[in-house]
Amino acid sequence: TRIVVSGSEMARGVPSMGSPAPDLPDTVDGYRDLLQGTNMSNFDGPRVYGYVKAMAALYWASWARRNPEYHVVTVSPGFTRGTSFGSHKNLPFVARTIYPALLTITGWLGKSQSLEQGAKIYVDAMTGKEIFAKAGSGTFIAAADGQA
């Protein structure tokens, strides 16, 4: 049985987009504080998203070790055009305006991929094809920085 978890490059940072890797704690108390938000002086959506995706990847890697009868991979298809990314009404107007243009420009530059290409990555993960044929259970697979 295969389990595919939707991940994000933000879990390990995307330097080319100015997003540093999440500074994950090294103690249980540190994780508790992070999950409760007690160490965050102000809300930064992309930063929090990176922490959430990093902790999810760690959780599923741990779960995979405890449940070897399942094959678990956390997958991020990379920057994918044709999704509703950046269109949420709670985002500031400027962000909702810039994100669609950014996706178009990154497509021209070969730094993002089509919705079909992004979906194929998930299908390959579910069926164990391409790069996923050799990926160990608990693995996190994402696009290289600056690539789709």
For the stretch 49-67, pLDDT in tens is 899 999 999 999 999 999 9
Q: What pLDDT score does 135 carry? A: 92
Please tell me what DSSP assigns to residue 70. S
The rounded distance, in Å, linking the Cα atoms of 59 and 65 is: 10
The CA-based dihedral angle spanning residues 55, 57, 63, 66, taken in that order and rounded to the nearest 10 degrees = -110
Structure tokens at 91: 């985002």
Q: Which residues pair with 72 in a beta bridge?
A: 3
Are the C-beta atoms of 16 and 78 separated by less than 8 Å? Answer: no
Are the C-beta atoms of 71 and 2 separated by less than 8 Å? Answer: yes
> pTM score > 0.95 for this model?
no
The rounded distance, in Å, linking the Cα atoms of 126 and 73 is: 9
The rounded distance, in Å, linking the Cα atoms of 114 and 79 is: 9
For the stretch 111-145, pLDDT in tens is 888 899 889 999 999 999 988 989 999 999 987 66
Q: What pLDDT score does 73 carry? A: 97
Q: What pLDDT score does 145 carry? A: 61
92 has a pLDDT exceeding 90:
no
Q: What pLDDT score does 147 carry? A: 62
The rounded distance, in Å, linking the Cα atoms of 113 and 108 is: 10
